[in-house]
């Protein structure tokens, strides 16, 4: 009976979703109708001011074929499929997300790749079940979570890195004062992205419990609007 009731079916997409997601990001990541409209490469390109390929490639370049990779959240467009393809059947690609609709979309994209696994899980608590990951990637997740959650996610990722293992954080960054997009983003952040400005005010390494145990390399893009931080367990 439940599956014949559209409202109840839609309610299933909200079960167990954190309040900050439903209160702030329902329009972007939770509501199944809107997600189906937004999950396309053209949307990603527009939101990232055509920097999508550069930023995606900055993550893909860190993947070694045959390695074990954990991507901590689903990303719109074809990134998860491209990352899984780069890993290849000799490795393992695991994708987690906290929302049912994102798990649905990620599972569809990776269904034909048996070396992949899609799990509904919180990036702040997910643990590798057998052996550590060689690479863990957070692609535009940190700016979407509250400050306490940033601490938990960063440290959960770093705690799981073996010696020589890498984490990649691709996200927003404080724009250069002469970058006009920065003024536009101030308004967007105030309206739609209330957790994003924190990454303007502090470095990702400051969320780490023990930053000295890792080597940190940062590269910025598009006049400082975006950053890619590669963290290696020394």
State the pTM of this model. 0.95
Ordered by start, the domain boundaries in the chain are 2-233
Give the three-state DSSP class for 178: coil
pLDDT tens, N- to C-terminus, the chain (234 residues)? 333 434 447 789 999 999 999 999 999 999 999 999 999 999 999 999 999 999 999 999 999 999 999 999 999 999 999 999 999 999 999 999 999 999 999 999 999 999 999 999 999 999 988 899 999 999 999 999 999 999 999 999 999 999 999 999 999 999 999 999 999 999 999 999 999 999 999 999 999 999 999 999 999 999 999 999 999 998
What is the rounded distance in angstroms from the CA atom of residue 142 to the CA atom of residue 99?
Answer: 16
The listed CATH number (3.40.50.150, 1.10.600.10, 3.40.50.1820, 3.30.930.10) that belongs to domain 2-233: 3.40.50.150
Confidence (pLDDT) at 9: 73
Farthest-apart Cα atoms in the chain, separation: 58
What is the rounded distance in angstroms from the CA atom of residue 36 to the CA atom of residue 180?
Answer: 31
Confidence (pLDDT) at 5: 37
Dihedral of the alpha carbons of 63, 69, 75, 81, in degrees to the nearest 10: 70
Confidence (pLDDT) at 130: 83
Confidence (pLDDT) at 6: 44
**Residues contacting residue 152 through CB under 8 Å, at least 6 positions apart:** 124, 125
Confidence (pLDDT) at 39: 98
């Amino acid at each position: 009976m439940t599956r014949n009731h559209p409202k109840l079916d839609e309610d299933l997409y909200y079960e167990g979703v954190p309040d900050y997601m439903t209160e702030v990001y329902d329009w972007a990541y939770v509501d199944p109708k809107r997600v189906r409209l937004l999950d396309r490469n053209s949307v990603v390109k527009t939101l990232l001011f055509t920097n999508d390929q550069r930023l995606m490639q900055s993550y893909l370049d860190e993947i070694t074929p045959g390695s074990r990779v954990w991507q901590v959240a689903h990303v719109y467009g074809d990134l998860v499929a491209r990352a899984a393809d780069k890993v290849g059947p000799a490795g393992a690609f695991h994708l987690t997300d906290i929302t049912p609709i994102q798990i649905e979309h990620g599972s569809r994209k990776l269904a034909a790749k048996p070396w992949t696994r899609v799990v509904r899980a919180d990036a702040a608590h997910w643990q590798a079940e057998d052996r550590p990951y060689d690479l863990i990637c957070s692609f535009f997740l940190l700016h979407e979570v509250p400050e306490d959650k940033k601490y938990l996610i960063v440290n959960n990722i770093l705690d799981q890195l073996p010696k020589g293992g890498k984490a990649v954080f691709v996200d927003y960054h404080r724009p250069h004062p002469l970058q006009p997009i920065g003024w536009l983003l101030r308004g967007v952040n105030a309206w739609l992205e209330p957790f994003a400005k924190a990454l303007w005010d502090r470095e990702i390494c400051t969320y780490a419990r023990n930053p000295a145990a890792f080597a940190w390399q940062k590269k910025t893009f598009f006049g400082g609007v975006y950053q890619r931080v590669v963290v290696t367990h020394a």
